[in-house]
Amino acid sequence: MATSFKQLMRKVEQAEATLEARERLVAADWRQLKASWKDGWTPGRIVLAGVVAGFIVGRVEPVKAVAKGGTIMQMITALSGLVASASTEQAATRVESAAADVGDAAQATPAVAPVDPA
């Protein structure tokens, strides 16, 4: 029984060593891939990728818009959100101003001693 346990322990240790070695290989391969990927993106390729992506989006978006419909509704929703945001900002400014006024008034008011009821 003891020998089989020792054999199992050796197998586990061997498997751990193999796993660690493979992890190091994967990390090295990943670093190499990352470096070659970055080196491959030259300015010309970036511009070309942008032109191709813009062309594809330009061809797909009008078809989506016609099929989807409701673009006017989306615009109205976006504008209402913008208006709500602006009015919220104005309200926050007013509250800030009122809080400052209350703070100034509190500082200007002299301290009153507590009244003894006795």
DSSP conformational letter for 111: P
d(C-alpha 63, C-alpha 75), whole Å: 18
Report yes or no on 28 lying in a domain.
Answer: yes
d(C-alpha 22, C-alpha 81), whole Å: 53
- State residue 93's pLDDT score: 79
pLDDT digit string, tens, across residues 20-38 = 999 999 999 999 999 998 8
- State residue 69's pLDDT score: 60
**Quick one: tokens of 39?**
């080196």
> Is the model more confident about 57 or about 11?
11
Report yes or no on 34 lying in a domain.
Answer: yes
d(C-alpha 91, C-alpha 85), whole Å: 10
- State residue 30's pLDDT score: 93
Report yes or no on 15 lying in a domain.
Answer: yes
Report yes or no on 19 lying in a domain.
Answer: yes
Range of the domain at 36: 8-40
Report yes or no on 117 lying in a domain.
Answer: no
Confidence tier at 88 by pLDDT (50, 70, 90): confident
Counting every residue written for the chain, the total comes to 118
- State residue 59's pLDDT score: 80
Report yes or no on 22 lying in a domain.
Answer: yes
Tally of domains in the chain: 1
- State residue 64's pLDDT score: 65
What percent of the chain has pLDDT above 70? 74
Report yes or no on 25 lying in a domain.
Answer: yes
Taking residues 47-72, report their average pLDDT: 76
